[in-house]
Amino acid sequence: MSITTQVSPSGDLLTIGIQGRFDFSSHQDFRAAYENSEGSISAYQVDMKETSYLDSSALGMLLLLRDYAGGDSAKISIVNCNEDVKKIFTISNFELLFDIQ
């Protein structure tokens, strides 16, 4: 598992990429990824192109990000999910909280 971050040229969109398994072991790194971001971030994108798996504590971490980014007014999109990952989002109905693509 590794986590990468990238701020858009305009400085307001933070993209967090997750490689490999997204589970409790990513907790510290994932939190650091958005808490240590510089600039005036107003929207977040979680890139799951290289995410092989996520468990319920990963869902919890996404909720923490949502909380950090303003709760109901948070702008978070989750992109490039594979079929397995998408299924987990569907079962938990996270589409209601996140923009999942």
Report the interface residues with other proteins, using CB under 8 A.
24, 56-57, 59-61, 63-64, 67, 90-94, 96-97
The answer to whether 89 and 56 have CB atoms below 8 angstroms apart is no
Closer to other proteins by Cβ: residue 3 or 63: 63
Query: C-alpha angle with apex 21: 25 to 17, nearest 5 degrees?
Result: 95
CB of 89 to other proteins, least distance (A): 10
Rounded to whole angstroms, the maximal C-alpha distance in the chain is 35
Closer to other proteins by Cβ: residue 12 or 67: 67
Cα 25 to Cα 4: distance, rounded to the nearest angstrom: 15
Q: Which residues have a Cβ under 8 Å from the Cβ of 43 and sit 6 or more positions away? A: 12, 13, 14, 75, 76, 77
CB of 11 to other proteins, least distance (A): 27
Closer to other proteins by Cβ: residue 48 or 98: 98
CB of 60 to other proteins, least distance (A): 3
Closer to other proteins by Cβ: residue 7 or 68: 68
